Structure 1
Amino acid sequence: MPLVLLITFTYYPVGNMIWYSFTDWDGIDQTKNFVGLNNYIQLFTRPQYFQVFTVSLYYFAASFVQMAIALYFATLLSFRTRFKNFFKGIIFFPYLINGVAIGLIFLFFFRPGGTLDATLVALGLGKMGHFPLWLGNPGWVNISLAGASVWRYTGLNFVLFLGAIQSIPSEAYEAADIDGANSWQKFRYLIVPGIRRIISLSMILAIAGSLSVFELPYIITGGANGSGTFVTTTVQQAFVFQRVGFASAMAVMLTIVVLLITWIQRKLVPDDDVALS
């Protein structure tokens, strides 16, 4: 039964997507004319479709901020800390919120005179009306959206790191205490090597996530002001311009890019090296 579900809801749709990428299907008509590699030729000969990958760099940089914050709090809350369960819930809670709700929250947060502007005024960092348009300025919009992604996804990395740190045997910490190791030495020589597999997994998720960002820019800006990503462009081609065949080719290429980068990363940081660290 699990195999049937996997084939029905994963492999069959992927197979259909690959087939559509070789057609000119508009998503409505019953006929799907075979066009060979024409969709892929258009994709590679029009650089504007790949220029949106530069937007992913903002989210990729934000993923390092996520991991740093998550690792810090996971390390802190892995040991005896007052109200640690309360703080665990606070950190993980944003990840549980629906993406549409988060988009609406940050739409009000970043709007002119919104929560962010009011907070900066309260801190004495400026006057109302003198702040940039966080979502309307092309120089700020991707930074703002990447910041929102940090708030949302830090909880996922936090849980991964927390579970990995707590799996390290307590005897290892006791031995470090006997040797006189301080907190930084425990973190550097005990915790980081012990969770390197999870750090590698987080890197893979960060790369895949930064390349396939969709919810936040689609809901908050609709891809306006230079905030469009490869996925929002793909959706636009499929459902606005009714070029499902071309959009399928874009989706296939995105899948190949993610798999290729993941394969390269696994070659650079193989499991054997991680296990021996």
Structure 2
Amino acid sequence: MSAASPPAALAKESEGSEGSKGSKGSAGPGRSGRLRRARWRRGAVPYLLLAPALLTFGVFKAYPVIDSLLLSFTTGSGAATRDAGLANYRRLLDDPLFWTALRNTGEILVVQVPLMLGLALLMAVGINSALVRWRTVWRLGVFMPSVTGLVATGVMFAYLLKADDGAVNWLLNAVGLPSVDWLGQPVWARMAVVVVLTWHYTGYNAVIYLAGLQSIPRELYEAAMVDGAGPIRRFTSITVPALRPVLLFTVVLSTIGTLQLFDEPYVLTGGGPDNATLTVSMYLYQNGFRYFDFGYASAIAYALTLLVSVLGAVQMRLMGEKDK
């Protein structure tokens, strides 16, 4: 009995080892499956977090853009909508009112953007000066107009610029100058729009420039002063080159905003007198929501989009960093 016990023990050990190997082999696929599921869950978490934003973008951004593009190739409205091909875009080329709106927008852009950004830069340099006290108060003061509602701004200036009893003409008469029909003459109406835009957005750009100025190392100005550079030379050789990215940002943003100009002339002049302040966005609105010609309005929108893209690319090319 004792002689037979060792072989029996060895047999039991071999059976136990085979059983343990079998249990490990059966546990291997289950463990790898759990690892795959865990990896899948970790990989799916970012997409689940992005899903609300992607869904919102698709419903409220991507779908309207694609649908309006398809709409620009149609004519009519409602159930009477039918394909028109490129007819709406060919119509743009022969539409004198569209070219009038485009010319008005361009004239306002050429005058208003340089004037506004020039004043904003001067204001920022002045506030950043070491001689100015209470910078926070000044910064808040120049920024306040930009948070005023556009409709409220237009209504306010409509009262200020009235020909009969407006405050601006009252001040002109007080100093011996004749009254001006600000909103009744084409040239002065466009200038009134320029004034409103400049008042509303100059402070916003000044704060952006001020942030850029405060990031310029003071050592550069001190070294330039040691070399004998005056204020103008320091401004042109240090300030302007250092602000190049900020200048590019404000120029592109202001250009895009002016090309999409709608609120101020709509409230201030309604596009008049004699379409002198009619802008492309106002003409788009008239065709879409007054005449219900949504196909042509969509074509105007995409023509404006193309114009904005081309001007933005040209400005980026001219004012961007040069390759060395």
Q: Structure 2 length normalisation: TM-score?
A: 0.78
User: Deviation of residue 25 (structure 1)?
Assistant: 4.3
Among residues 218, 224, 227, which one is paired with 1:179 in the alignment?
A: 227
Q: Report the Cα distance in structure 1 between the residues aligned to 2:237 and 2:318, rounded to whole angstroms.
A: 21
Kindly report which structure 2 residues correspond to 1:173-252, keeping only aligned pairs within 5 A, or say none.
173-225=221-273, 226-252=276-302
Q: Report the Cα distance in structure 1 between the residues aligned to 2:212 and 2:169, rounded to whole angstroms.
A: 38
User: Deviation of residue 8 (structure 1)?
Assistant: 3.1
User: 1:267 maps to which residue?
Assistant: 317
| Further displaced range: 67-76 or 5-14 | 5-14
Q: 1:171 to 1:10 in 2, by over 3 A?
A: farther
Q: 1:59 to 1:116 in 2, by over 3 A?
A: farther
Tell me, yes or no, if structure 1 residue 119 matches structure 2 residue 171. yes
Tell me, yes or no, if structure 1 residue 75 matches structure 2 residue 128. no
Among residues 84, 105, 120, which one is paired with 2:135 in the alignment?
A: 84
Q: 1:187 to 1:42 in 2, by over 3 A?
A: same
How many residue pairs align between the two structures? 268
| Further displaced range: 185-194 or 246-255 | 185-194
User: Deviation of residue 31 (structure 1)?
Assistant: 5.4
Q: Would the aligned equivalents of 2:104 and 2:278 in 1 still touch at CA under 8 Å? A: yes
Q: Report the Cα distance in structure 2 between the residues aligned to 1:174 and 1:8, rounded to whole angstroms.
A: 55
Give the letter for the 2:281 counterpart.
V
Structure 1: where are the runs of 5+ without partners? Answer: none
Among residues 180, 185, 208, which one is paired with 1:160 in the alignment?
A: 208
Give the letter for the 2:201 counterpart.
Y
Structure with the bigger percentage of helix: 2
Q: Report which of the two structures shows the higher radius of gyration computed on alpha carbons.
A: 2
Give the letter for the 1:106 counterpart.
F
Q: Would the aligned equivalents of 1:60 and 1:207 in 2 still touch at CA under 8 Å? A: no
Q: 1:150 to 1:271 in 2, by over 3 A?
A: same
Q: RCO (CA 8 Å, sep 6+): is it higher in 1 or 2?
A: 1
Identity percentage over the alignment?
A: 29
Question: Matched residue of 1:271: which SS?
Answer: coil
User: 2:71 maps to which residue?
Assistant: 20
Tell me, yes or no, if structure 1 residue 34 matches structure 2 residue 34. no
| Further displaced range: 30-39 or 68-77 | 30-39
Q: Report the Cα distance in structure 2 between the residues aligned to 1:9 and 1:160, rounded to whole angstroms.
A: 30
| Further displaced range: 261-270 or 143-152 | 261-270
Deviation sequence 1:18-63 (CA, Å, 0-9, x none): 111111243xx25532211111111112232122212121233111
User: 2:11 maps to which residue?
Assistant: none
User: 1:50 maps to which residue?
Assistant: 99
Give the letter for the 2:172 counterpart.
L
Q: Report the Cα distance in structure 2 between the residues aligned to 1:60 and 1:125, rounded to whole angstroms.
A: 31
Structure 2: where are the runs of 5+ without partners? Answer: 1-49
Q: Structure 1 length normalisation: TM-score?
A: 0.90
User: 1:131 maps to which residue?
Assistant: 179
